[in-house]
A and B are shown apart, each in its own frame.
Chain A
Amino acid sequence: MSEVTTLEKPDLKIDQDEGNFSYPEDYAFDAGTGLTEKTIDYICDVKEDPDWVREFRKKALRIFREKPLPTHWASKDLENIHFDDFRYYLSKGAKPKRTWDEVPDDVKRTFERLGIPEKERAFLAGVEAQFDSEAAYSNIKKAVAEQGVIFVGSREGLKEHPEIFRKWFGKVIPTADNKFSALNSAVFSGGSFIYVPKGVKVKHPLQAYFRINAENFGQFERTLIIVDEGAELTYMEGCTAPKFDSVTLHSAVVELVAMKGAKLQYITVQNWSPNVFNLVTKRGLAHEESEIKWIDCNIGSRLTMKYPGVILKGRKARGEVLSIALANNGQHQDTGAKMIHAADETTSNIISKSISIGSGRATYRGLVHIPRHLKGCKNNTECDALLINTESRTDTYPAIVTRGEGNSVQHEASVSKVSAEQIFYMQQRGLSEGQAMSLSVNGFVNELVRQFPMEYSVELKRLIDLEMEGSVG
C-alpha cells in the first residue's frame, strides 16, 4: 500500500488518547543519527546557511563536546540521553507555506487533534505553526505585516534580516551558557524570528504550535524575539507530541530582547509525551523601563529542565516569571526562574506552583541576584507545592543573593497536600475521585491562571483534567 492511500484513512494510527497520535514518516531530508562535524556540514548544506552560521555551529559543537553534563546538581537521568542515537536534522522538505490551502492534510489533522477550536483555526492566519524542524505553515496576518512586524522562521530571519538577526542572535544566551544551549547552537533548526518595530503594539498574540513527529528525532528550535522601543507583543508557544517508545530529546533556545519601554510576554504550555527530555534555555534582556514576562506551564515530558530568566539591564526594568509544573507518575519537572538585576530600581516577581502526583517529582530552582552597587531593587518570590500522595516529592532550592542597601526581597514558600479527607468530602458531593482531584489542582493554580490569557487558561484546565483523570486507578 502506498503512503498516499494510507494517509487517506482518517483513523490511521490515531489513538483516542489526546496527543497520542502519529503519522507516517515522510521526510525529504534526514541527516542520519549521531552528531559529528559532518552532520553540521550536512545541515548547513541543506539549509544553505551563510558561512558565519556554519562557523557558529561548528564552534558550538566543540563547546558542546567539552562541557560535562550538569549531573553534579541536576538529575542523573540526564545520563540516559544517548546523544549518538538521535537524528539531528529532519525537514519536511517543504518551503514555508503561505496559505491555508497549501498546508498538508496531515498537518491540518494535527491541529484538529490538538483541539484547536474552529474559530481559532480561522485565526491561524496569524499563526506560525512549526511541524518538525521547518515551518510547514506560515502566514503572517495581514494587519501584523502592515504594521511592519517581521514574523518568520529563524532560517528566513537569519537570511533575510541579518542586520537585526545577527545583532542579537546568541547575545542573550551565549553558546557556552550550558551544554544544551551549546547543543542547540550547533544543530538549531526551526523556531521563530520576530521583530516588532518601535511603538507598534501587536494586538493579537502571535502563536506557534510545535510537534515532534519522528522517532529518535531531537528538536532544536531557536527563537529570537526583539521588541523595539515602546512596542508590545504577546507570543504563545504550545506543544503536544505524539507518543513514542524510545527517548526523544527536545532542546530549544529562546532569546527575548525588550528595548526601552517595550512590553513582551512569552507564554508556553509544554505537553510533550512522557518519553521526552525537554532541556530548554530561555532568557530575556530587559532594557530601561521595559517589561518581560514569562508564563510557563509544564505538564508533559519525562524530564524538563527549564529556568526562564530575565536580565534586568536598564533602570526600572521589570521581569516576571509565572510558572506551573505538573509532575505525574514517572515525570520530573525541574523548573524555576532566574532574575539578574543589573540596574537601579529594577523589580522582579516570581510565582511558581508545582503539583506532584504519584511518583512524580517537582523541583523549584530559583536564582535572584541583586549586586551591592544597586539601589531600589525589589524581588518577590512565591513558590507553592501541592502533593497528591505520599510517594510524590517536591524540592525547593531558592538562591537569593542580595547585597547593598535599599534593595528588598521577599520569599514565601508553602507545601500542601490534597488529603484523603478533602477527596472524600468532594466525592460525598457526587464528584468522582478524578473530578475531585482535578478540581483541587485547578483550585491550587486558579489564582495564577487567572492572569493568563483566556484561551490558555481554558486549554490548561483541559490538560489538567486529562492528567488527573489518567492518574486515578
Chain B
Amino acid sequence: MKNSLEIKGLKASINGTEILHGLNLTIPKGEVHAIMGKNGSGKSTLAKVMAGHPDYEVTGGDVLLDGKTILGLDPDVRAREGLFLAFQYPSEIPGVTIANFMRAALNARRPEGQEVDAVEYYNELYKKMDLLKIDRSFTSRAVNDGFSGGEKKKNEILQMAMLEPKYAVLDETDSGLDIDALKIVSHGVNSLRGPKMGILVITHYQRLLDYIVPDVVHVMVDGRIVKSGSKELALEMEKKGYDWVENLATA
C-alpha cells in the first residue's frame, strides 16, 4: 500500500528463539500510532527488526515502506528510504559533534560531491532547535557522550526533525525521563506531526500518551498485536491492567 508502513505476519527470532510470532500492523502516513505492552512482549524487538538490526533473523512475513519491502536491505539503506528509529538506548560517539554527525547523515542522503551547504545547514539546524526549544550550545557536544537520559532523547528528536523521515519509530522514548524532559520531548514530537510523516510510539506506560495523543492504540502481547482501538484504549489499559488483554490473547 502506498503511503503507509505495513508490517505483515512478521516473525523474527534472536539466537534461535522466536520473539515475534506473526505481527500485523499498518501505520498510514499522517497518523500517530502507539504500541503498548509489558516488558518482554517484543516491542523493542519489533523496532530493531524494522530497522535491520543484525542480531535478529526474520523468519517470516514482510515489512513494506510505501508498498516496497525493506527486509534484506542494510540498515543504512532503510534509513535513507525514510525509516527513522529513535533509540531507547542511543549510542555514544565520542569526539563526533552532533552538528557534524547530522551533517554526515544528511550528506549520506545526497549524491557524492553535492554536500549540503554549510550556511544552509546551520540555518536549518538552528530553526529546528528553536522549534524544539534546544539550546544552541547543544550541537557542539559529542553525540550522547556523557548526556543525561533527557538529553539523549532530545538529541533523538532533534535528529528526527533534521532527517525528516517518512516514518518514525519511537522506542520507549519516555523511559528514564522526568516530567520536564517528557514535556520537551513530547512537544518536539507533536510539532513534527503532520501529513508527511507516520509515527509509531512504543511505550510501556500510558503517561506518554497524555502528551503525545495517538490516533490509534495497539496492545502487544507475546509478539503479537492482540487489540487495537482509539486513544481511549490506553486509558482502559491503565485501569484494567495487562492481565485483561492477556486473557484476550489466550481467549
Contacts and interface: CB of A to CB of B under 8 A. Distances in A.
5 contacts: A419-B91, A424-B91, A429-B76, A431-B105, A447-B95
B96 A431 contact: no
Interface residues of B, number: 30
A165 to B, nearest CB: 43
Contacts of A421: 91
A442 B96 contact: yes
Interface stretch (B79-87, B133-141, B197-205, B242-250): B79-87
Interface centre among B76, B79, B85 (most CB of A within 10 A): B76
Interface stretch (A192-200, A388-396, A433-441): A433-441
Interface string A436-465: 100110111111000000000000000000
Contacts of B54: 420, 424
Given A420-B55, A428-B87, A430-B79, 6 more contacts: A422-B93, A429-B108, A431-B108, A435-B104, A436-B76, A447-B95
A427 B85 contact: no
A432 interface: yes
* Leading 6 A-B pairs by shortest Cβ distance: A443-B95, A443-B96, A425-B91, A446-B95, A427-B75, A429-B105
Contact of B75 (A424, A439, A442, A447): A424
Nearest to A436: B76
A445 B95 CA distance: 7
Interface of A: 416, 419-422, 424-433, 435-436, 439-440, 442-447
B93 A428 contact: no
Nearest to A419: B91
Contact of A439 (B96, B109, B163): B96
Given A428-B51, A443-B96, A422 B76 contact: no
Contacts of A429: 76, 79, 101-102, 105, 108, 159, 163
A416 B95 CA distance: 13
B40 interface: no
B74 interface: yes
B76 A433 contact: yes
Given A439-B101, A443-B142, A430 B109 contact: yes
Contacts of A416: 94
Contacts of B95: 442-447
Contacts, number: 79
Contacts of A443: 93-96, 142
Contact of B104 (A422, A425, A439): A439
Contacts of B67: none
B96 A440 contact: yes
A433 B75 CA distance: 9
A256 B74 CA distance: 51
A432 B78 CA distance: 11
Contacts of B108: 429-432, 435
Nearest to B81: A430
Contacts of A442: 95-96
Nearest to B106: A430
Nearest to A386: B94
Contacts of B176: none
Given A432-B108, A433-B74, A439-B104, A426 B53 contact: no
A426 B93 contact: yes
B39 to A, nearest CB: 20
Interface string B46-64: 0000011111000000000
Interface centre among B55, B75, B93, B142 (most CB of A within 10 A): B75
A432 B107 CA distance: 11
Interface string B97-129: 000011011001100000000000000000000
Interface centre among A439, A442, A447 (most CB of B within 10 A): A439
A435 B74 CA distance: 13
B90 interface: yes
Contacts of B76: 427-433, 436
